[in-house]
Amino acid sequence: MVLLEREAAAGAGEVLVEVAGCGVCHTDLGFYFDGVPTRHPLPLTLGHEVSGVVVACGEGAEAWQGKEVVVPAVIPCGECAACRAGRGSICPQQIFPGNDVHGGFASHLVVPATGLCPVPDLKDPRVNPGSLALHELSVIADAVSTPFQAIHRSGLCEGDLAVFVGIGGVGGFGVQIAKALGAHVVAIDVDQGKLDKFAALNQEGNGADLTLNPKEMDFRGLKKAYRGFGKERDVPTWRRFLFETSGTPAGQSTAFGLMEHGSYLSVVGYTPKKVELRLSNLMALDAKAEGNWGCLPELYPPVLDMVLQRKVALQPFIETRPLDSINETFQAVKEHTVLRRVILVPGLGS
């Protein structure tokens, strides 16, 4: 059973957020089922994809009172040497809800006010033409913002080629972000249902141009299809960007193996398992591989705007369940019987 934090007081520079919704991420499952260590000792409330309303403020954070917010999954301190150098993602004092402090699978949580993303008036149809609810925005914190930062860091531009290896959750939202930026998009996954969904979504302008299933071809065939797609669209190898978003050894090996001269690989997915690679490929191809940890809070507003303006669709990829279903939900997500990103909502159906 996952511990639910009791309502607590906000200290100086902190806010108390009444949780509207908290998304279930595979990172949570890693903590819960696989023994991945949390930085805060157990017992600990998990959950880091949070949206809600600020209901109490500590000293210095009073301006946030009553505001609807998305809570960043990674909250840098904003003051250390790393933060001053623009490297907040590696801030040694960063706060990761559900890892460093109690998280969002609760009615309330206390977090630093630093970096909170204010949500505009969702009742205004000009701001929110898709009528998204506050709890639905919770998945911005990680599932949408993490691929946004990875794409932002890569320098992907209109006319470039973006490849996503693994399109469940993070990778699927990455497909949409890259497409919105005008890139040619390739989606690779072993789940044909997901591939079909993104192929169909492409007719609406934010899906994948090409879908490939490694179960239906060997690696040589996969590489040939990907390279042929790039050649047909006259995209040179140095304008091809690979995003490993599966978090599996097979996916990581595939993404690394698809690199070409001058291409770029972003490692977004996580697995504790080891992968054997020929690292010299980076040298021989004059290519680049880079990791991505979360998303800086200053990038959240443009992510939120993309979602509210329906450049990135949430509703076809999320489902809502009561918070008190958390144990069954965790098990279902672990067993891959859930097809959408689950958002747990306190008080729903109770």
pLDDT at 5 over 80: no
Residue 202 pLDDT level (bands cut at 50, 70, 90):
confident
pLDDT (average), residues 60-88? 97
Structure-token pair, residue 289? 């591989």
Structure-token pair, residue 34? 């696989």
Q: Give the β-pairing of 49-57 and 68-71.
A: antiparallel
- Fold classified for 147-291: Rossmann fold (3.40.50)
The pTM for the full model equals: 0.95
pLDDT at 180 over 70: yes
- Closest Cα to residue 129, out of 305, 301, 302, 299? 305
Residue ranges covered by each domain of the chain = 14-141+295-345, 147-291
Q: How far is residue 61's CA from residue 326's CA, in Å, rounded to a whole number? A: 31
pLDDT at 86 over 60: yes
How many Cβ atoms sit within 10 Å of the Cβ of residue 121? 9
pLDDT (average), residues 203-220? 93
Q: How far is residue 205's CA from residue 176's CA, in Å, rounded to a whole number? A: 9
Question: How confident is the model at residue 7, as a pLDDT?
Answer: 58
How many Cβ atoms sit within 10 Å of the Cβ of residue 279? 8
pLDDT at 139 over 70: yes
Tracing tokens 């059973």 back to the chain, one arrives at: 1
Phi-psi region of 272 (alpha: psi -120 to 50; beta: other; left: phi over 0): alpha
Phi and psi at residue 58, to the nearest 5°: -85, 175
CATH of the domain spanning 14-141+295-345, picked from 3.20.20.70, 3.90.180.10, 3.30.930.10, 3.40.50.300? 3.90.180.10
Question: How confident is the model at residue 349, as a pLDDT?
Answer: 73
pLDDT digits (tens, 9 = 90+) for 29-40: 989 998 889 999
